[in-house]
Structures are given as C-alpha cells and as structure tokens.
Amino acid sequence: MRSRRAALPRPVALAAVPAVLLALLGAAAAPGAASPARAAVRADVLADAPAGARARTPAPAAAPRADGFDTAPARAALERLLPRHAGQFTLLPGTATAADTFTVSGTPGAITVRGSTGATLLTGVGWYLQHVAGVDIGWPGDSIGMLPAELPGVPEPATRRALVPHRYALNDTDDGYSGPYRTFEEHQRQIDLLALHGINEVFVQVGAEYPYYRALQRFGYSAEELRHWVPGPGHQSWWLLQNLSGFGGPVSERLMRERAELGGRIAEQLRGLGMTPVLPGYFGTVPPEFAARNPGSTTVPQGDWAGFDRPDWLDPASAAFGKLAAAYYAEQRTVFGDSTMYRMSPLHEGGQTGAVDVKSAAGAIQDALHAAHPGALWAVLGWQDDPTPELLAGVDTSKLLILDGLSDRYNRLDREARWGGTPYAMGTIYNFGGHTTIGANTSVWLERFGPWRAKAGSALAGIAYLPEATGTNPAAFDLFTDLAWEPGPVDHRQWFADFAARRYGRPDAEAAAAWEELRKGPYSTSSGLWSESQDSLFTARPSLTAAGAAYWSPKSMRYPAGSVRRALDHLLRVDPRLRGSSAYRFDLVDTARQALANHSRVLLPKIKAAYEAKDLARFRALTAEWRDGERRLDALTGSDPNFLLGSWLAKARSQGADTDEQDRYEYDARSILSVWGHRSTSEGGFLHDYANREWSGLVSELYAPRWDAYFDSLEEALVGRTAPRAIDWHAFEEEWARRTTRHPARAGGDPHALAAGIAAFLPAAN
C-alpha cells in the first residue's frame, strides 16, 4: 500500500549528495555546476548545434566552500540587481536550519546578509530594500534610483524564517504567454526577481520538446515527423499539457537544440542559487500510431481539446511506457541535469482514461519517475477535478505536491478533505492569457493563508505563484510572495500604504491615496467565481452586446470603476521628483490604461442605444469618441516598454534562420494573441482573444481596425436602412496573424502627458 502521509519531507539538496554519485547520475556536482560526465554528454548531444549556441554553454561554477555554499552566484545576481550599491553588501552562508532563513544587519554603507541558500541571501536583500531602504524592485518597474549613495544601516538585526518549505513559481502556460522567444538574460532577470521575493522552486519549460524529440526517434519516428508534431514555441505549453500538437510549427532542429541549451542554462542558474529547477516529467504523451509502431503497446486517444486533436496517451501499464520514460529522462538529464521535483498533470482538462486503471497508471508514472530520479517530488496542478481521488490513491502522496490553482477563486474549500491530506501549495491565478488588467483577490489571500496553515491537520506546505503570464502586476507579485515570509498577520491596508511609499522611493501623500483607491477597488475583489478582473471591450471581438474580450473571462466589472479613475488623478499629482523611476512610469501608464479600458464598458451601451434608436448623429459622435479612445490607448501604451507588440514580434523573428522560418515563428507569436488556433479552435473552442492585451501596435493594427470595420458596417446599415453586412471575424484576425509588419520595439512619448490627456478625456469619477 502506498503511503498517504500528510507530512512532506524537505527535498534533499543536491549539494548534500556525494559528488561521486552525482557524477554517476549525471547531475551537477554542486548547485550551479555541470558535472564533467554531464558536460561531456551535453557537448556530444549538442555537438552539431550552431557555433553561437555552443558558445553560450556556461563554464562550471566554483566548488562549494568549506564553510558553506558558494555565494558567488548570489553575488553576481546582486550586482545585476543593484549595480551601484552591491559593494555595500556582505553575503555570508548561514548555518543549516530546517527552514530557509536569512538575517539582515549592519551599519550605514556596510550591510550584512546571512542566508541558508544563495536565493535566500537575495530574499534578505529584498527584505532590506523594502523595510529599511524603502525602495522597490518590482516585476516590472523599480525605484532603486532613489537609493542614497550610502545605504542606510539596519536599526536592529532582523531574522526571517520561511513559513512554508515550498515557494513555487510559474504556471505551465507562462512560457507561452510571457514570452516563448525570450533571451537568457531575460530569463536570468526573472530568476533574480523570483529569488529576491523568496521563491525557491521554478518551473523550467524552455527546451522541454528536445527530450521528446530525441527519445521518440528510438520508437519508430523520424526526425521530420517529430518536427511537425512539436508545436511552435508559443503553443508548446499546451502540448506539454497533452492538449494539442503541431500548431505553429514545424520547428527546426536548430531551434530545438538552442532552446534546450537555453533551458539547461536556466536550470543551472537556478541550481547556482540553491533553487530547485522544476522540470517536466513524462506521463505518457505520444504521437499518432505509437501502438502500431511499437507492438504490445496500448494507447488511449485523448479526443478533442477546444477544437484541437490531442496527442495520444500511452497506457503506463504498457511495457513500452517504462522504456520510453527511461529514454526521456536520460535525454533530459544530458541537457537539463537532474532535479528533485518534476511537473506532470495527466488527463488535464478532460483527458480520456479509456480502459486504463487510473490508480495503477498513476503508480506506474511515479515509479518511472523514481526509477530515473529516486525520491523526486511530483508536482501536479490542482485544477478543475484534478488530481482525482483515483490518481491520489495510486501514489505515495508524501512525494506529491499539489499546486492549487483555485485557492482564491472559490469559497467553502477544504483542501485536506478534498485531497486526503496530500501536501499542497496555496496558489493564485490572477490573470489568464496575460491580460493587461489590474487587480487580484489579494484580501482573500490574507484571509486564508494564515488560518489554512494554522488549522488542525493542515496539509498546507507552500505557496504557488501561478498567473498565466508574469510581469504584469507588481503589487500582486509582491504581496503574494510576502505571505511565505511575514511571521504575523498582514494588514491589508497597511501593506498597500507601505508599498506605495517604497514603490516610488519616498512617502508621498498622492501616491498613498492612489494605492488606497486601487486597494479598495481592483485589489479587493472577492472569491466565489473569479480570480481575475474583467478585461477590456476595446480588445473584444466587435458586437454591440460585447461583455468581455475572452470568452472565459468575467463579463462585468468586479469593482467600482471610480476607484481606478480616482487613482489616476492621484498618480498624476505625485511629486515630480518621484516621477523618474520605471516603477512610477509603469504604474501611471497601467492605471491610465485601466481607467480608459473601464470606460469602454460605459461607452459601448451608449453606442448600442444610439444605433437601436437610429440616431445617426449620436451614433457617429459616440463611435468617434470610441475611436479617439483607442488612438489614445495605443499612444499611451507605446510610452512604456512593457506594452509593445514590436518587441514581442521582433524576438520571435530573431529565432528564425531564414525568412520562411522567421515568418512561421512570427505567426506563432501573433496567433497566440489573436486567433490562438485554427478556425475550429478559435470559434468552436472559444479561444479567440483569450490572450488579449492592450499593447501598442496590437491596438492600432488589430483591435482598432476591427472595431472600425464593425462601426462602418453599422453606419452603412443606418444610412441605407438595411441589415448590417456580415463580417468573417476569424478571416479578419487570421489575415492579421499572417502579417509581417514591423512595429517599434522601443517606447516613445511622454507617459505623464499622455496619461494626463486620458484623464482629461474621461469623465470625472463620482
């Protein structure tokens, strides 16, 4: 009988395993260092990669120091984060404790941080910046330019201990929605920020296709077949979830190699900081005809997912399953190394079990994982009905961690009863598809985390930061990650007041008033049905009855719109001396964008009323106002680098070796934002505009022309007294996705002037 213990042992650090054994396993001999055996295998596997790709292979890191772990990776990260002030910090390994711990102390200009890992040292630095220096390094935006030349001393030494062992980050969809064509430096920045905010486990998806590509060639598939089966990078997240295949491809072997190398570097970067790279595990995904090519195997067709044909599922009881899993893990090890944690969600969103016994299948999946990585933790997403009781009954749940994606969405939740005491991490998914919408159920986090952790028999063992795309909501990121480190109850109002002060580097009455409005509005939405706020009608497929852009998003306002409108007025009046930071510029643009987006929900019903009343003059005036709003929206978002379609597309094209490949990857990047898939998935699967976002270039080239075409058809109908002409919206959007037009990759314009113009354009708040 497999154990169902509630207690979850702390994963063993790689540094604690004998170096000889690590070398034999092919794992890193030290966190962040590639073992000679693994380095040789990686060099062999990637030998025919382009010279530029091979040159990016990192050199081995220094060996662990006799008095503790090597602090050099943390020091390097600190120099990236605080290039002008890093020399004023001394980073020291702390004594080993049951929980990650840091202590901050020091005099002016000489700050000492002791920590249990490299990442925890950075968490201590982050605590110092927030609570002593009074500045913020957010995601995105920072106020470190407000730091004095000499850093302030610490009044009294401060020690913080992690309240939970697991601080997990990144949704399975993050790579697709946050940027599938990002550089190593961009991923490195992400790791630095996660460490600064106390995260210790990070999902690594980049390059996950390569182990499949290599292993499946031993099971009857050609390289050409597999290149067409693997989707484009923008859609690979859902292929790993066993939802689709092929779309946005074929992917070149060169790109797969380079992505694998990039993923390996990301994993090494995490290990160097003492963080756990969470790698995809193997649970049975196979291409078509696997059973025919591998006699004795049994596969279960997975049917349809939102209009896509899903990959087949290889029955884990099949003899070939263990062999394929071993081949997959061996190929993964050569490039990514070993880990103590692997991510798998079998039967995700409606997967078909067929005649397979799920309990036995789950045990076989875990057995295959442990055969390759003894004792490794299996991380499974808590989503819809998963994980099912049948799956939980078949595994050693002491080696399972459920990443609860619904912790703040619904009410009357009892995770211990639902999952039989299996360890879980309280998670949040406050945006879907990377929507550029402000807000989160932050008060729900504060109401639940402490009581859930303190309840008798609690199985709460972590937090899971799971927005479908990251880098859009700095307040939510800061507050959610603080949960794992703040020893006492967090006061919602005080936290936002403190955030306002450090966000721009100095206390400011107008900034405090702005964030109090935002706290009371979009950051105080309730649980019960939604975990994200409504999206914009400017980004919606045109209709006089449009209630949202994405089919699966809220259809009405989740907070009083006046809160954002008043926050905009306050932000515009922030002391001019505090307006130079990237944090202020981002927040101002984002708040003005949200205020304008909320106005679309006021304006559209007026347009509908004018049309139905056949009032042509009023219809023209109101649609002119709508078009003016879209023009202002595109200009506003063009003034901040975080809202540019141009940079998104340029990164995709940069990965292509020739024009055809560049065009293919640009289509992959464009389609994920618009049609998402084929006509059947876009229409029947309701996936069009799922990843809508208010970006400069996207507004002017897709959303505004789409509304223009619609309003023109309505005006023609009013003038001619006829029914409006039908418009094939999928064809309209597909034509856009196939374009290769260029857009600015650098921000331009004055954010304050553009935001002030929007404030003047909008009605005053009630």
- Region at 433 (left for phi over 0; alpha for psi -120 to 50; beta for the rest): left
Select, from the ranges 13-27, 58-72, 86-100, 721-735, the one with the highest average predicted confidence (pLDDT).
721-735
Mean pLDDT within 54-66: 35
**H-state helical runs in 425-578:** 442-454, 474-482, 492-503, 509-520, 562-572
Q: What are 89-135's pLDDT values in tens digits?
A: 999 999 878 899 999 999 999 999 999 999 999 999 999 999 999 99
Show the tokens assigned to 703. Answer: 């959303």
Distance separating alpha carbons of residues 481 and 463, to the nearest angstrom: 8
With 90 as the cut, is the pLDDT of residue 493 above it? Answer: yes
- Cα–Cα nearest to 263, from 334, 318, 178: 334
CATH 3.30.1330.10 matches 69-160:
no
Do residues 373 and 25 lie in contact, with contact meaning Cβ atoms separated by under 8 Å? no
Residue listed under structure tokens 């000679």: 36
Helix, strand, or coil here: 286? strand
Residue pair 460/424 in contact (Cβ under 8 Å)? The answer is yes
pLDDT of residue 51 exceeding 50: no
Mean pLDDT confidence for 726-750: 98
Selection from 237, 262, 268, 323 nearest residue 46 by Cα: 262
C-alpha distances in Å from residue 207, one per residue of 148, 202, 336, 677: 42, 15, 9, 22
Separation of alpha carbons 315 and 297, rounded Å? 8
Q: 610: which 2 tokens?
A: 């004018």
| Pairing outcome for strands 158-161 and 101-107 | antiparallel
> Which tokens is 301 given?
């067709």
Percentage of the chain exceeding pLDDT 70: 91
Q: What does the alpha-carbon distance between residue 322 and residue 315 come to, in Å, rounded to a whole number? A: 10
Residue 594 CB burial class (10 angstroms; 0-12, 13-18, ≥19): buried
Q: For residues 583 and 137, what is the distance between their CA atoms, to the nearest angstrom?
A: 8
Cα 12 to Cα 16: distance, rounded to the nearest angstrom: 7
3-state secondary structure of 101: strand
Specify burial of residue 310 (Cβ count, 10 A radius: 0-12, 13-18, 19+).
buried
Strand 166-169, strand 312-314: pairing: unpaired
SS3 annotation, 305-338: ECCEECCEEECCCCHHHHHHHHHHHHHHHHHHCC
| Beta strand spans in 44-197 (E) | 89-93, 101-107, 110-115, 158-161, 166-169
* Count of beta carbons in the 10 Å neighbourhood of residue 745: 15
**What H or E segment, with its residue span, contains residue 419?**
helix 415-419
pLDDT digits (tens, 9 = 90+) for 556-576: 999 999 999 999 999 999 999
Distance CA 165, CA 161 (A): 10
Is the pLDDT reported for residue 628 higher than 70?
yes
- Nearest CA among 440, 758, 696 for reference residue 568: 758
| pLDDT tens, residue by residue, 201-257 | 999 999 999 999 999 999 999 999 999 999 999 999 999 999 999 999 899 999 999
Q: What is the pLDDT of residue 67?
A: 52
Q: Which residues contact 46 (CB under 8 A, 6 or more apart)?
A: 53, 54, 57, 257, 260, 261, 335
Helix, strand, coil distribution of the chain in percent, nearest 5:
45, 10, 40
Q: In angstroms, rounded to a whole number, what is the distance separating the alpha carbons of residues 218 and 61?
A: 34
166-169 and 460-465 beta bridge pairing: parallel
Distance CA 120, CA 68 (A): 14
Stretch 356-381: mean pLDDT = 98
Query: What confidence tens digit (pLDDT) does each residue in 663-688 have?
Result: 999 999 999 999 999 999 999 999 99
Q: Which parts of 140-208 are beta strand (E)? A: 158-161, 166-169, 201-203
Q: How far apart are CA 54 and CA 169, in angstroms?
A: 29
Which pLDDT score is estimated for 535?
97
3-class DSSP string for 428-460: ECCCCCCCCCCCCCHHHHHHHHHHHHHCCCCCE
Q: Is 337 left (phi over 0), alpha (psi -120 to 50) or beta?
A: left
Mean of the pLDDT values across residues 684-695?
A: 97
Q: 728 Cβ partners below 8 Å, 6+ apart?
A: none
- For 312-344, how does the pLDDT look when each residue is reduced to its tens digit (9 = 90+)? 999 999 999 999 999 999 999 999 999 999 999
For residue 184, pLDDT beyond 90: yes
pLDDT, tens digit, for every residue of 428-465? 999 999 999 999 999 999 999 999 999 999 999 999 99
CA 462 to mean position of chain CA atoms: 18
Terminal Cα-to-Cα distance of the chain (whole angstroms) = 63
pLDDT in tens, 130-156: 999 999 999 999 999 999 999 999 999
Taking the CA atoms of the chain, what radius of gyration do you get in angstroms?
Answer: 26
Q: What distance in Å separates the CA atoms of residue 248 and residue 250, rounded to the nearest whole number?
A: 7
In CATH, the number for domain 545-558+591-761 is 1.20.120.670
Query: Which backbone phi and psi does 643 adopt, to 5 degrees?
Result: -130, 40
- Residue 525: other Cβ atoms inside 10 A: 24
Whether the bond between 140 and the residue before it is cis, its omega within 30 degrees of 0, is yes
Q: What is the pLDDT of residue 514?
A: 98
Distance CA 322, CA 344 (A): 16
Determine contact, residues 93/117, Cβ cutoff 8 Å: no
* Residue type at position 77: A
The CATH superfamily of 164-500 is Glycosidases (3.20.20.80)
278-297 average pLDDT score: 97
Residue partners of 13: CB distance under 8 A and separation at least 6 = 31, 274
- Give the pairing type, strands 276-280 and 201-203: parallel
Query: What is the pLDDT, as a whole number, of residue 68?
Result: 82
Domain ranges of the chain: 69-160, 164-500, 545-558+591-761
pLDDT of residue 223: 98
The band of 83, judged by pLDDT with boundaries at 50, 70 and 90, is very high
* Residues 184, 127, 570, 437, CA torsion sign: positive
Tokens read off for 52: 């530029």
Can you name the residues that pair with 160 across neighbouring β-strands?
A: 102
Count CB-CB contacts under 10 A for residue 398. Answer: 18
- Residue 464 in 3-state DSSP? strand
Helices (H), 613-692: 616-637, 645-653, 659-671, 679
Prediction pTM value: 0.92
Residue-averaged pLDDT of the chain: 92
pLDDT value at residue 25: 32
CB atoms within 10 A of CB 20: 9
Query: Which amino acid belongs to residue 712?
Result: D
